[in-house]
Chain A
């Protein structure tokens, strides 16, 4: 049980780093653990394989998530990330990452670049998953 909790806590840390670039506080980690215990996001064989890659090489997270977004949008890995996203959004410490605000023109350029990167990584992710023999849902 302790092992499972520690792994969920590590998972929370990994996903939050991927989403907002930093580790979440303990309260958010605990909430993520509660959510995952309640929602039962079990991984199937394909997701387990991909999750192993993500946990071993966290830098692949964006690529794999991008590929899954196109090929297997209902994947349990995406669900884990979605749950973490919801937990972060409903925490006052992290609401600044979600609430609308005024953005300057430079930020607009940044967003255009982010969009371009998202599309590019999407293509890479799609190709990577196809190379791994993963089929669409």
Chain B
């Protein structure tokens, strides 16, 4: 049997690409490993965080994990921020898609819904200069952003940050309520807006993929502050919701336990080799068009295996970031409301030149639902006094996650090497280093952020660098190119050197703005799917 379209992967890109294809009446098969959470699903009660803490004797099972996997020890590492009910996202990674690096620690996922299960929900529109640098078409992306916005539901505000986060996006719901801590910070910003704007800082609410009004089966957010533990009421968008919806269409079929290894083009169709993760059997699937959306690193593995051109080094880009715990003095000893979300409350853009290019972003979070014990560990104090002090300071903590844009360079690359000890007989090796100039620019920018926050009576305690790769924003391995060069993509998303293979994830982005790319990934996947339909 030859399928019309095969989509590989069920993450944000795969889900949206498949949706576009199905909306056009195409017959689509989705191949996915599709790891699901069978342990914690249904375990987290439908209640707010404080009620759970005060009443549920079994809370330790999902707050700490049934195997206490939520009590991490040692240095900050990728995935440590995931709560036990979200850790399933990383199951099977080492076994099925191993990666070796001493400089780069990415997070990949074989889960149903992919990395979208842990997405922070920020929906940022890339500006014209950012789209141009990334190799994306401004006009098409503008339309695609609107399409995706209608599909997933976005809550946003027209404030100072809107020109950076929202662009010209028209379709959005009322913004989320901000919690007391960040509301006080925002009021401080409004009082000092003139000075901060002059320095290139613009604060507002981030557009978020969460509902403030009911949409179909999905309910408006109930502010239960359990966002890091479960998808209560489905108010926050996750890609699995799209795939669940697609399964109701007769022209869509979902196939789990399928690890796509490589493809080979034949006359008029593509053969897709699959390694089954349940039986270890090997299968060959056939399709007229193949859309790869298995994440930047996953897609790179498939493409490199398929071309088998010996050792090839692909470029890699990734937003580097640091987080800065701060004390917001206005909130010292103040109570915190019961009902809020754990998500980013505010966002602070830095655009010194006002060019909308190379903008940095700091997402601002209050701290509560990740529990205090994680924070106490970070303080160089004894635990007993640390507990008492942190409990007092808790309501005044603001965590600023500062992201920087990234572009390709010789020191950032991946390579697939033979390794007979792995199931696929290969292993991806990554190398990532910033140039001295990049490091200097990054530190200067962080310093400016810290200074701006200080203006708002929000004092940085320290800077934490979780390591390269931990931003979970990757791109640039198969950059868009108008020239027919190997390991690049044509502007319509087709992989150069192939007739029927398209790449619908972020592999083509030749530049990663600091803004989280997920919304743009979904918009781009929609465009690539349209291109595949019209080819």
Contact = CB atoms under 8 A, between A and B. Distances in A.
Partners in one complex: yes
A64 B527 CA distance: 61
A92 B55 contact: yes
B377 to A, nearest CB: 6
B339 interface: no
Interface in B118-154: none
Given A35-B68, A90-B64, A100-B335, A82 B73 contact: yes
Contacts of B443: none
A127 interface: no
Contact of A90 (B60, B67, B336, B368): B60
Contacts of B373: 82, 85-86, 89, 98
Interface string B74-109: 100000000000000000000000000000000000
Interface in B374-433: 376-377, 379-389, 391-392, 394-395
A104 to B, nearest CB: 8
B371 A86 contact: yes
Given A39-B71, A62-B382, A69-B381, A102 B372 contact: no
B64 A87 contact: yes
A8 interface: no
B387 A97 contact: yes
Nearest to A66: B382
Given A69-B380, A85-B376, A102 B54 contact: no
B63 A118 contact: no
A92 B56 contact: yes
A19 B383 contact: yes
Contact of A31 (B50, B60, B334): B60
A108 B371 contact: no
Interface residues of B, number: 42
Contacts of A62: 382, 384-385
B64 A65 contact: no
B398 to A, nearest CB: 13
A116 to B, nearest CB: 10
A135 B64 CA distance: 32
B57 interface: yes
A91 B53 CA distance: 7
Contacts of A18: 383-384
B385 A98 contact: no
A118 to B, nearest CB: 4
Contacts of B334: 102
Contacts of B63: 89-90
A71 to B, nearest CB: 10
A107 B380 CA distance: 22
B79 to A, nearest CB: 17
B332 interface: yes
A98 B382 contact: no
A118 B383 CA distance: 10
Contact of A122 (B50, B333, B377, B381): B381
A75 B64 CA distance: 21
A115 B385 contact: yes
Contacts of B59: 90-92
A81 interface: yes
Given A90-B59, A92-B57, A100-B335, A111 B376 contact: no
A95 B335 CA distance: 15
Nearest to A101: B335
A95 B53 contact: yes
B68 A38 contact: yes
B321 to A, nearest CB: 23
A99 interface: yes
A117 B386 CA distance: 11
Interface in B346-388: 368, 371-373, 376-377, 379-388
A83 B334 CA distance: 28
A18 B389 CA distance: 15
B63 to A, nearest CB: 4
Contacts of A83: 68, 71
A24 to B, nearest CB: 13
B380 A85 contact: no
B377 A82 contact: yes
A74 B316 CA distance: 33
B365 to A, nearest CB: 14
A82 B390 CA distance: 14
A7 interface: no
B375 to A, nearest CB: 10
A18 B383 CA distance: 9
Interface string A40-64: 0000000000000000000001100
Interface string B317-349: 000000000000000111110000000000000
Given A62-B382, A65-B384, A111 B56 contact: no
Given A85-B376, A108-B332, A99 B53 contact: yes
Interface in B191-240: none
Q: Interface centre among A38, A85, A97, A115, by most B CB within 10 Å?
A: A85
Contacts of B71: 35, 39, 82-83, 86
A82 B387 CA distance: 10
Given A87-B60, A92-B54, A111-B392, A122 B372 contact: no
Contact of A100 (B336, B376, B387): B336
Interface string B30-72: 0000000000000000000010011111011001100110110
Contacts of B389: 111, 114-115, 118
Q: Interface centre among A39, A82, A90, A100, by most B CB within 10 Å?
A: A100
19 contacts: A19-B383, A38-B67, A62-B384, A65-B383, A69-B383, A81-B383, A82-B377, A86-B64, A89-B373, A91-B60, A97-B391, A98-B372, A103-B392, A107-B333, A111-B388, A111-B389, A121-B382, A122-B380, A122-B381
Given A19-B387, A118-B386, 9 more contacts: A62-B385, A65-B382, A66-B381, A82-B377, A86-B371, A89-B63, A90-B63, A95-B53, A98-B371
Pairs of residues from A and B, 6 with the lowest C-beta to C-beta distance, nearest first: A118-B385, A102-B335, A90-B60, A103-B333, A65-B382, A66-B382
